[in-house]
Structure 1
């Protein structure tokens, strides 16, 4: 028999779907309204006065007055907010600071305001409602759901609560979902990630889990521990588990491994959340990319990635973008981030409506020889090379080997295999061919004998987890960069 909750889900999903269509079908007008609203509300803030917001009427005015900044460059203002000052980047004080492990300046404090907080909560909810509307599936709302996340314990700093984004969002789980939600509050508060996952295994083992959610690499760790404990596949432990929700990294490199662990295919929904904003979610099961959220208090600008480090790169708005181009995404938000570079690169897969994929990080690329290789390309190469084989990869990262002892320089792929190939060099050749096909610069360097084809170095099982642990970054929202322009990360695998 259908429960009340599952019966109400469909009409509610239809209402939300219609609302989303309204703004998705009017993207330019929607973004213009968001832009005008943001400027109007922040005119009397310290930042608004310093940047003459009162005379900003257009995007061109905004570009003249507000430079692109990353966290380091905005830190002067953020520090004032953290110190307890009001009306600095946004009116009043923020409700929270999402603390993220940071850059050269250590921890970053990203403000979340009364206006921005609901967008994080609604976007996660709407992603599920869009899935219900498309598929008609509602049974899962009666089961238990788990989100592998950071601790919900919050500290306080000058009257503003402080914590991890996933921990802050845990306080906003609607009442009707509270009793469906696992792990327990106490378990979520455990700091040590490995201990926490062990307790989560015990807590969930005999429950009717229908939704499992989290960053793929950490969900994989949870699945493996479940399997070790029971000797069963996840699909046999959780008979009604049919929806995996993830974000933070591309799922494709993990998909084969997951299907093997689960023992069957399950539907998945990709999310694109960050402390700075909830940017996109997958709105269709069979369309590539995630719907860019244009009506959520965020105004977007885009700079072509290969022009980003030029003196004065052109800042485009939604109406100027093209499919398949690599852009650095710049945001201005109702949490008081202005012309802010979050460091991600995206590509549009569709402009009707606007859908994106995350292609990498502007800092995470390899161009030691001018090849401009990005995260999306190495992931696609790995996926193509292992498709249709029983090779399964747990984790990998790529670094340049600039001064090898013999021969030409090359890209070195550090790979932890779940299931190894019989012929490592044949796999390397397939990956290399895929990369050459995707990236003409790389092709030219191989062809011109500047580089030799890539080489694979095996990482022992558990090597990536051990590395993350050694860096104090095991669990939570932490993830291994797919590639880097130096060998700092991979030195951890060579000791």
Structure 2
């Protein structure tokens, strides 16, 4: 397949000039995106309601159009789900990305227009490989197959002529034939509904392929790789896939998993790890420099216009928002998106921090709903990831999964945090692991440190170990195996922790 590899690389290199252009002119690029979105949607019901035909500037846009959550937009999205045209976006939506996380229903349904699929999600996938080639000009990654662990598709419950499912499944289902040739497993396996059957058949097929790259959520990648190793009785994955070159990961921080992948699965310095930020709502960012771990380039010409909400404004009815040129480095912002699928000033639920400007690189720092702030400590997912990673490093542990929640104040007037951990490799000193976890959290979060000072408000954390497979069983019980489902890292209430501890006691 060397000829195919050379042809694909040639095409990818030609795309890099466009990326360099928006890196050089980021603000102008975003203004152009906003202008095009407003022009395209001006005769939709939403566009007429908010005067899109008269909006000329970003300031006017922010003043005339409300910030929306999924619950705010749902009455309009429901009409789109039922097939009504020209509500939020002029073109119809034949696909709906389904994800969890809404308060008014079990699932969210995000419209995926033809423009969003082609100009955002597919463009992002191509640019991901373009940036890999830019970092590794001599790569032979296209000599073999790309493995992806996707979700499933179902008829849209509101309109049986359209379909809904994980964004990964929508993307895989619509790939052109040349792209299908370069990937594994085949569609009839990739889109299977029943997770255990899917993973079993993936093991059978993918263990016999020449896989050179893999894309997936680390959680489910670990499950698949463990089962392939067990089937082939191999010491590591390079014995099975000797030409493997890159694991592309997203959805959760890779920091707690990096050591596990490098030691157990791919023990070679020639294997790269590349982060992407691809949500149901759109393809947002790609790691453009493999040496900058945890930093991704914000992709500015995908038909998405971005705004950023300071954390102090998040829960206000009319929050202040910032444009790209107004953001500060190392500051948490909630992310707003206006997209070429008809999401308008939509609060996606993620928080980000910029690590550089010109070019604009960021990292995902958490979720607006996934945090612990029962006592004013304001612990975010980024704090947890950093602290768990440091505790593993200092005690030679490897983590598989974790979550945490508050322990509310008792009659003593003191509270705390409770953690549930599942290890791949146990720490050599569990007590020290717990101490390092607490100390690192105090180091990276001054509010937590203040509450922990002399145990005034918070006592040391309670940390539980659960047997291997506990989190997997918990996700199975919730109907959330595979796809883009992920374990919530932090919660301000105790249902996740208590559910896991109940399984431990069985």
Question: Shared fold (TM-score greater than 0.5)?
Answer: yes
Does 2:205 align with 1:199?
no
> Which of 238, 261, 286 lines up with 1:281 in the alignment?
286
Give 1:452-467 correspondences, 5 Å limit. 452-467=459-474
Query: Which secondary structure does the structure 1 equivalent of 2:257 belong to?
Result: helix
Task: Tell me if the contact between 2:154 and 2:163 (Cα under 8 Å) persists in the aligned partners.
Answer: no
Q: What's the counterpart of residue 110 of structure 1?
A: 110
Q: What's the counterpart of residue 145 of structure 1?
A: 146
Does 2:28 align with 1:29?
yes
Task: Give the superposition deviation at 1:411.
Answer: 1.1
Task: Tell me if the contact between 2:334 and 2:368 (Cα under 8 Å) persists in the aligned partners.
Answer: yes
Task: Give the superposition deviation at 1:281.
Answer: 0.9
Q: Deviations over 1:426-482 (max 9, x none)?
A: 111111111111111011111151111222111121110011011111111100011
Q: What's the counterpart of residue 323 of structure 1?
A: 329
For 1:250 and 1:323, how far apart are their aligned partners in 2?
19
Task: Tell me if the contact between 2:155 and 2:162 (Cα under 8 Å) persists in the aligned partners.
Answer: no
> Which of 222, 237, 240 lines up with 1:237 in the alignment?
240
Q: What's the counterpart of residue 362 of structure 1?
A: 368
Distance change in 2, residues 1:395/1:405 (3 Å): farther
Tell me whether 464-473 or 166-175 shows the greater mean CA deviation. 166-175
Q: What's the counterpart of residue 15 of structure 1?
A: 14
Query: Which secondary structure does the structure 2 equivalent of 1:131 belong to?
Result: helix
Give 1:403-418 correspondences, 5 Å limit. 403=409, 408-418=414-424
Task: Give the superposition deviation at 1:12.
Answer: 2.2
Does 2:104 align with 1:97?
no
Give 1:383-402 correspondences, 5 Å limit. 383-387=389-393, 389-402=395-408
Over the aligned positions, Cα root-mean-square deviation in angstroms equals 1.8
Give 1:73-472 correspondences, 5 Å limit. 73-104=72-103, 105-118=105-118, 119-151=120-152, 157=159, 159-232=161-234, 233-265=236-268, 266-288=271-293, 289-387=295-393, 389-403=395-409, 408-447=414-453, 449-472=456-479
For 1:320 and 1:292, how far apart are their aligned partners in 2?
15
Task: Tell me if the contact between 1:350 and 1:356 (Cα under 8 Å) persists in the aligned partners.
Answer: yes
Distance change in 2, residues 1:39/1:180 (3 Å): closer
Task: Tell me if the contact between 1:84 and 1:158 (Cα under 8 Å) persists in the aligned partners.
Answer: no
Task: Give the superposition deviation at 1:90.
Answer: 0.7
Task: Tell me if the contact between 2:395 and 2:429 (Cα under 8 Å) persists in the aligned partners.
Answer: no
For 1:121 and 1:325, how far apart are their aligned partners in 2?
30
Q: What's the counterpart of residue 49 of structure 1?
A: 48
Task: Tell me if the contact between 2:394 and 2:433 (Cα under 8 Å) persists in the aligned partners.
Answer: no
For 1:241 and 1:178, how far apart are their aligned partners in 2?
19
For 2:88 and 2:316, how far apart are their aligned partners in 1?
27
Query: Which secondary structure does the structure 2 equivalent of 1:68 belong to?
Result: coil
Moved over 4 A (4+): 152-156, 404-407
Q: Deviations over 1:189-238 (max 9, x none)?
A: 32221221111111111221111111100000001111222331112111
Tell me whether 143-152 or 306-315 shows the greater mean CA deviation. 306-315
Query: Which secondary structure does the structure 1 equivalent of 2:114 belong to?
Result: coil
For 1:368 and 1:61, how far apart are their aligned partners in 2?
37
Task: Give the superposition deviation at 1:160.
Answer: 3.4
Tell me whether 216-225 or 411-420 shows the greater mean CA deviation. 411-420
Task: Tell me if the contact between 1:153 and 1:167 (Cα under 8 Å) persists in the aligned partners.
Answer: no
Task: Tell me if the contact between 2:416 and 2:461 (Cα under 8 Å) persists in the aligned partners.
Answer: yes
Query: Which secondary structure does the structure 2 equivalent of 1:482 belong to?
Result: coil
For 1:459 and 1:404, how far apart are their aligned partners in 2?
25
Structure 2 stretches of 5 or more lacking a match? none
Query: Which secondary structure does the structure 1 equivalent of 2:164 belong to?
Result: strand
Task: Tell me if the contact between 2:413 and 2:457 (Cα under 8 Å) persists in the aligned partners.
Answer: no
Distance change in 2, residues 1:468/1:331 (3 Å): same
Task: Give the superposition deviation at 1:309.
Answer: 1.8
Task: Give the superposition deviation at 1:8.
Answer: 2.3
For 1:93 and 1:202, how far apart are their aligned partners in 2?
39
TM-score (norm 2): 0.94
Task: Tell me if the contact between 2:308 and 2:322 (Cα under 8 Å) persists in the aligned partners.
Answer: yes
Q: Deviations over 1:346-374 (max 9, x none)?
A: 11111121111111100000000001110
Query: Which secondary structure does the structure 1 equivalent of 2:243 belong to?
Result: coil
For 1:177 and 1:297, how far apart are their aligned partners in 2?
23
For 1:153 and 1:452, how far apart are their aligned partners in 2?
47
Structure 1 stretches of 5 or more lacking a match? none
Q: Deviations over 1:100-124 (max 9, x none)?
A: 2342222222111122111101111
For 2:432 and 2:411, how far apart are their aligned partners in 1?
23
Q: What's the counterpart of residue 492 of structure 2?
A: 485
For 2:46 and 2:257, how far apart are their aligned partners in 1?
43
